[in-house]
Amino acid sequence: MARSIIETARDNVNAVLVPMNKVRIAVWDSTPYLGTEGLNGCTGVAIISKTAGILAHIAPLPPGTYSNTDDAGHENLVAKMEQMISLYNMHEAHFLEARSCIVAAVHESAVALPEAVATIRTILHHLELPVKVIYYKVLESGTFRMPGQTSIVIDATARGWPKMYRNNQEVSYGQY
């Protein structure tokens, strides 16, 4: 069986892998891959240019929180998006021509967190970025997972715009 793109990224010492509920940046000169795995209910957000990328792996609730009664999920989302904006602004020269992509969960045939997707879309529009939303299916607990499932990898090993993979499948993030 062929290796998944996330396995390739994991094995590259220069790859940047984003843990759950974190935000990271990669500059393609020194980093060939930017990825995250284990989304399964979380939302991924990417800002991508020819020279750099920012990737967020946003949990529906912050770690250690088991109830959304105090709006912890929304506050966590806003905090992660503020981190993305901060990285975007600090490294603005890398993002003069950039695109963005939201990788949203689908559970039982419906978008799992529609309010989160709407909030993220609004924030990315404020940055004047084109936004594309793509989806992945949430896997039930105990379900067999193929290598690369519930993952996002941005592959900048070739010249030009990096390729983006969701669940080990290349996806288009540039045609809006």
pLDDT digits (tens, 9 = 90+) for 16-53: 999 999 999 999 999 999 999 999 999 999 999 999 99
- Does residue 18 sit within a domain? yes
Does the pTM of the predicted model rise above 0.85? yes
Q: Which structure tokens are listed for 11?
A: 């094995």
Residue 93 lies in a domain: yes
Average pLDDT over residues 58-74: 84
Q: What is the number of structural domains in the chain?
A: 1
What angle, 0 to 180 degrees and rounded to 10, lies between the N-to-C axes of helices 114-126 and 72-90? 30
State the residue range of the domain holding 15: 5-171
CATH code where residue 14 lies: 3.30.1330.200
Q: Regarding predicted confidence, which is higher, 146 or 137? A: 137
Q: Which residues are registered as beta bridge partners of 144? A: none
Between 136 and 142, the more confident residue is: 136
Q: What is the rounded distance in angstroms from the CA atom of residue 103 to the CA atom of residue 167?
A: 11
Q: Is residue 176 in some structural domain?
A: no
pLDDT at 176 over 70: no
Residue with the two structure tokens 């800002």: 47
- The answer to whether 111 and 117 are in contact (CB under 8 A) is yes
For residue 133, which phi and psi values (nearest 5 degrees)?
Answer: -110, 130
Residue 76, amino acid: N
